[in-house]
Structure 1
Amino acid sequence: MSSLLPISRLLSYRLHRVANAISRSAAARYRRDFDVSLGEWRTLALLGEESPLTLNRLAARAGLDKAQMSRVVARLDERGLLVREAGAGRSTPLSLSRKGHSVYRGLIKAANERNEAFLVCLTDEERRVLDSALEKLGKLAKALESQENL
């Protein structure tokens, strides 16, 4: 039997640690510069990329449960960053308000700057390999998740 890897060498643990560190620093910047939480940022970014989306669709795309997304949407709505179109409950189409679009433009610019700051330590070839590896790992993870949920 081959030797077992300790948790610190497992791919899922290592990816989780990197992703958390990136998210924590992003959360601090977005809170400081735009007064939004990480969940609010992701919601604004998803609506800025594709709109309108229902709460259920937003939750799925953001990787949040529906109750969490409902709270995020309520906070953004209170701040006037969203527009709710006609509909009922979680099937109501949501999009960014004019104010929401303004915040989104600042956030996505900051996110792109952060993205480039992280990628600068990689060569062009390493960037291509990383992108390819993440695509493959993402597809495999979804397939394994489907199998585990049977």
Structure 2
Amino acid sequence: MTDSREAVLRLADFLPYQLSIASNAVSNSIAEVYRARFGLKIPEWRVMAVLGDRGALTQRELTEATVMDKVAVNRACKALEARGLLAREPNARDGRSHHLVLTDAGAAIYGRIMPLALEMEQRLFATLAPDERATFSRLLAAVLAEAAKHDPAAG
């Protein structure tokens, strides 16, 4: 049987764990700004960010784009819709689904948050040189692409 202390020491060196901890720390620091200024939770902001970036999407497309559980996406969409920040429009290609879009009010908040998000990104990654940031971004993209190949939900 493995010594539990040895397992904890190995956990700290486990790259997926490090990535998760770093991701949570970054998300939480940014999320506090969204929550305090705009009353948005992390899933709600992710939905708004993807819709603001990509335009109208079905809930299924939004779930794939945010890499969030469909229940979390559904709750976020309902909360945003209740606040008048998101609307459902008929999907002409599939009568069973809707396209989700930011309303004018949602687009206005998205427009106010994006400069804050970019400012926070600058502060959080100021410790990295520009070439390190570019390398880090490429590495994250490579890890994400590889993880997607092994995602049982994608198959």
Aligned to 1:86: 90
Contact 1:84 1:95 in 2 (8 A): yes
Q: Name structure 1 gaps, 5 residues minimum.
A: none
Q: Name structure 2 gaps, 5 residues minimum.
A: 1-6
Secondary structure of 2:40 counterpart: coil
Aligned-pair Cα RMSD in Å: 2.3
**Counterpart residue type for residue 56 of structure 2:** P
Secondary structure of 2:101 counterpart: strand
Aligned to 1:6: 10
* TM-score with structure 1 setting the length: 0.88
Count of aligned residue pairs for this structure pair: 147
**Counterpart residue type for residue 121 of structure 1:** T
**Counterpart residue type for residue 81 of structure 2:** D
**Counterpart residue type for residue 24 of structure 1:** N
**TM-aligned CA distance change 1:111 to 1:149, over 3 Å:** closer
Aligned to 1:118: 124
Secondary structure of 2:36 counterpart: helix
Contact 1:56 1:90 in 2 (8 A): no
Runs of 4+ in 1 over 4 A off after TM superposition: 87-90
* TM-score with structure 2 setting the length: 0.85
Within 2, Cα distance between the matches of 1:77 and 1:90? 19
**Counterpart residue type for residue 126 of structure 2:** V
